[in-house]
């Protein structure tokens, strides 16, 4: 794991998310890229000048946020992008290769209806880049127990598992596998990829309407430090991928969630 990217929005908690990313990256010797996105449009010939000024202001704001953190001698680079955040992420990924995006959910507060807001939801749902969703205010600690939940054991490309393997190996974490049989499952779904099986000596199987309900059944017993799920067209958050936001009524956990994308399967 070499390059970790942290998109910085307008949240006052941005420095907390960045600090978690720095502490996480320090264990891997990874670089941290701090990214801000802005939109400048103009019908005049001064567009380049306006964009330059906004980019400069954006970089200054990012540096102020970085100054609030303990960088632990980690190399932190600033990246700005004029345009849509998804296009920006894909552009940076193409240029440097992003191994992991670290973002915060919309809110930790139960009374807030959304787990993922429009921006964080789009990042998770519209890119193929592994994403770690870290609750606001979470202080980094070594990951010891990872629950990996899925409704299908099919993983066509083993490299999809690389972030999970890296975290497991670095922290010597125990990985438990939870296969949730959902309505309409096939026998092929029950054939778990051997690389996934090799990560754990424990495979639990349950039957629920959704993968998330299966997670709720086992969550308290396992008490994981991290939840790992797969982003599929038909999988975890099955219907949730149809929209950008994710309501807490349909998904909420208070621990970091690693989302591995298998969108191109």
**Structural domain total, the chain:** 2
Q: Is residue 167 part of a domain?
A: yes
Is-contact 199 148, C-beta < 8 A? yes
Q: 75 is in which domain, residue-wise?
A: 3-103
Backbone angles phi, psi at 80, to 5 degrees: -120, 155
**The pLDDT of residue 79:** 82
**The pLDDT of residue 124:** 82
Residues with Cβ within 8 Å of 209's Cβ and at least 6 positions away in sequence, in order, are 182, 183
Residues with Cβ within 8 Å of 100's Cβ and at least 6 positions away in sequence, in order, are 1, 3, 4, 5, 129, 130, 131, 132, 163
Same domain, 170 and 96: no
Q: Chunk the chain into consecutive blocks of 10 residues (it has 265) and report each block's average pLDDT, rounded to whole numbers.
A: 86 84 96 82 59 75 89 88 84 92 71 69 84 92 95 89 96 95 88 93 89 87 93 58 65 87 59
End position of a domain, from candidates 43, 73, 103: 103
**The pLDDT of residue 186:** 87
Q: Is residue 123 part of a domain?
A: no
**The pLDDT of residue 254:** 86
Residues with Cβ within 8 Å of 129's Cβ and at least 6 positions away in sequence, in order, are 5, 89, 93, 98, 100, 101, 261
Same domain, 192 and 89: no
Instruction: For residue 176, give the CATH number of its domain.
Output: 3.40.50.620
Is-contact 93 126, C-beta < 8 A? no
**The pLDDT of residue 73:** 86
Separation CA 103–CA 106 (nearest Å): 9
Q: Is residue 49 part of a domain?
A: yes
**The pLDDT of residue 144:** 96
| Beta-sheet pairing, 131-133 with 257-261 | antiparallel
Q: Is residue 120 part of a domain?
A: no
* Structure tokens that stand for 136 in this block: 């606001």
End position of a domain, from candidates 70, 88, 103: 103
Q: Is residue 88 part of a domain?
A: yes
Same domain, 165 and 99: no
pTM as predicted: 0.86
């Amino acid at each position: 794991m070499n390059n970790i990217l942290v998109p910085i929005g307008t949240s006052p908690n941005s420095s907390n998310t960045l600090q978690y990313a720095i502490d996480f990256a320090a264990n891997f010797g990874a670089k941290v890229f701090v990214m801000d996105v802005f939109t400048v449009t103009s019908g005049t010939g001064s567009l380049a000048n306006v964009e330059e000024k906004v980019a400069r202001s954006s970089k200054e704001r990012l540096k102020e946020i970085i100054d609030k953190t303990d960088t632990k001698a980690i190399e932190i680079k600033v990246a700005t992008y004029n345009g849509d955040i998804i296009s920006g992420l894909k552009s940076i990924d193409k240029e440097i290769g992003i191994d992991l995006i670290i973002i915060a959910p919309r809110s930790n507060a139960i009374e807030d209806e959304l787990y993922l807001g429009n921006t964080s939801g789009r990042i998770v749902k519209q890119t193929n880049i592994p994403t770690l969703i870290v609750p606001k205010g979470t202080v980094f600690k070594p990951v010891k127990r990872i629950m990996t939940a899925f409704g299908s054991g099919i993983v066509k490309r083993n490299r999809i598992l690389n972030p999970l393997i890296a975290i497991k190996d670095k922290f010597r974490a125990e990985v438990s596998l939870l296969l949730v049989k959902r309505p309409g499952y096939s026998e092929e779904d029950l054939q778990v990829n051997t690389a996934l099986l090799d990560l754990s000596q424990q495979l639990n199987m349950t039957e629920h309407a959704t993968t998330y309900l299966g997670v709720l059944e086992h969550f308290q017993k396992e008490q994981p430090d991290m939840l790992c799920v797969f982003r599929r067209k038909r999988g975890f958050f099955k219907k949730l991928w149809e929209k950008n936001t994710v309501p807490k009524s349909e998904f909420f956990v208070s621990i970091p969630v690693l989302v591995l994308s298998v969108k191109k399967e």
